A = this chain, B = another copy of it.
């Protein structure tokens, strides 16, 4: 592997694990087995390195192979990526990097089309607010990026990356999306009551 790529990967891991601010160029260099000057030589500046990481990670998702699952293949790729990439992605979304924002918007658009098609073909429930639903749906699918660690730990599973755990949680998610959580409409009705009540505080849950 080229030194440049080694540096990028090292940065990816460290940035994902600790956050960009807490990782020094020297630490990256050491992990990559090069001098810290070489990092600058290749990426110009720390921000440049960060950008390169963003670009790389996001290209992984965007150029995901096999679109046979519809336009949401990128989402699948995202959730299958390695721990480092997942954590990095979570941070990228939280930090609001422009690339991450663009990716999110793309995902929402693609998912919106996909859901729309599903509605037409009858295998997706219609929605009272399709754009908002598409965005929420994407957010839900992305949520494990940010909370994966807690998900695993809360079930007493040591390794976040254990395949069985991943499968188990994805199954639970699909169950929610297929059968819903609530058995009647009372939550929706309660929400509408809140809204009609001059949209005071609590509209959540």
Interface residues in chain A, defined as those with a beta carbon under 8 Å from any beta carbon in chain B: 18-23, 69, 72, 75-76, 79-80, 87, 90-91, 93-96, 100-101, 104-105, 108, 115, 118, 122-125, 127-129, 131-133, 135-137, 139-147, 149-151, 153-155, 163-164, 166-188, 191, 195, 199, 201-205
**A179 touches which of B100, B125, B168, B204 (Cβ 8 Å):** B125
Identify 9 new A-B residue pairs, CB closer than 8 A, beyond the known A137-B176, A163-B199, A174-B188. Answer: A19-B95, A91-B94, A93-B147, A94-B94, A100-B150, A129-B175, A136-B173, A170-B203, A178-B188
Q: Are A132 and B172 in contact (CB under 8 A)?
A: yes
Q: Are A205 and B174 in contact (CB under 8 A)?
A: yes
- Where chain A touches its partner, the secondary structure class is helix
Give the complex CA separation of A183 and B119 in angstroms.
9
Q: Are B123 and A167 in contact (CB under 8 A)?
A: no
Q: Are B143 and A146 in contact (CB under 8 A)?
A: yes
